[in-house]
């Protein structure tokens, strides 16, 4: 569902860029703001109804920034979908609570997966501290039919299981070294493949049930893709309201 006229977004905005934006807000001459941080299962007022469906029901909650426009009163200025869950309701005319939330340190696990390639990582406060990549050939198609085609399907399923087991072993080994410190799991790659992977592999520390909702778009998992993914994992989806 697209965003109606008058609202730009979502624009992927890294935490560092957002923190600089808050400084600009704070020094804006004569500006007065209202900031709401709403946990999941929130409901939005009519003034925010032009936001897209993804912003109406974010699993991580939403941050709403309104600006005072005399004589109209407070009007929407910026809506933000956070990369990490909002756990406490906050309503204020100060950016202090929001700045604390945006600056909060997190340690997360990451798995990027597509048929043929995988990459796993641990990131602390937006920086990669552990990485591992690998691959396992998985042929995509078979032109012949009959028994030959059946053998190919069986072989392909075996290749896929071997890929999952290889990636799962690497992830489990490294994640156990941070057991008790990993807050969330970020996934990237093919949705169907990731779903099958999580059904086959049991990750340590209960990470399989702490998956963040924002799946990273990944072409081919690898070291370069991890650099992109960790940037995305600490980024907000921003919706900017026009005048």
Domain boundaries, the chain: 7-104, 107-233
- Work out the percent of the chain whose per-residue pLDDT is above 70: 91
Question: How many alpha carbons lie under 13 Å from residue 65 in its C-beta half-sphere?
Answer: 23
Are the beta carbons of 110 and 215 closer than 8 angstroms? no
For 231, list phi and psi in degrees, rounded to 5: -65, -45
pTM of the model: 0.89
Express each pLDDT in 59-101 by its tens digit: 999 999 999 988 888 999 999 999 999 999 999 999 999 999 9
Q: Which CATH number fits domain 107-233: 3.10.20.30, 3.30.420.60, 3.30.420.40, 3.30.565.10?
A: 3.30.420.60
Q: Across the chain, how many H-helices and E-strands are there?
A: 6, 10
| DSSP annotation of 230 | H
What average pLDDT does this structure show over 7-17? 96
Give pLDDT, residue 206: 93
What is the H or E stretch that residue 134 is in? strand 127-135
């Amino acid at each position: 569902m697209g965003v109606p006229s008058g609202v730009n977004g979502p624009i992927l905005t890294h935490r560092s860029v957002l923190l600089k934006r808050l400084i600009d807000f704070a020094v804006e001459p004569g500006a007065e703001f209202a900031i709401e941080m709403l946990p999941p299962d929130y409901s939005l007022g009519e003034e925010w109804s032009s936001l897209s469906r993804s912003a109406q029901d974010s699993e991580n909650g939403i941050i709403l920034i309104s600006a005072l426009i005399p004589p109209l009163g407070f009007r929407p200025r910026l809506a933000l979908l956070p990369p990490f869950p909002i756990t406490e309701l906050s309503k204020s005319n100060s950016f202090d609570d929001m700045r604390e939330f945006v600056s909060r340190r997190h340690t997360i696990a990451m798995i990027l997966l597509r048929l043929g390639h995988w990459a796993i990582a641990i990131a602390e406060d937006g920086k990669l501290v552990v990485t591992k990549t690998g691959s396992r050939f998985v042929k995509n198609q078979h032109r012949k039919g009959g028994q030959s085609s059946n053998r190919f399907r069986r072989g392909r399923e075996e290749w896929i299981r071997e890929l999952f087991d290889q990636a799962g072993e690497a992830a489990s080994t490294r994640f156990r070294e941070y057991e008790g410190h990993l807050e969330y799991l970020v996934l990237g790659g093919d949705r169907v493949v990731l779903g099958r992977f999580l059904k086959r592999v049991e990750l340590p520390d209960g990470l399989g049930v702490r998956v963040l909702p924002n799946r990273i778009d990944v072409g081919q998992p690898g070291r370069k893709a991890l650099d992109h993914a960790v940037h995305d994992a600490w980024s907000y989806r921003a919706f900017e309201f026009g005048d």
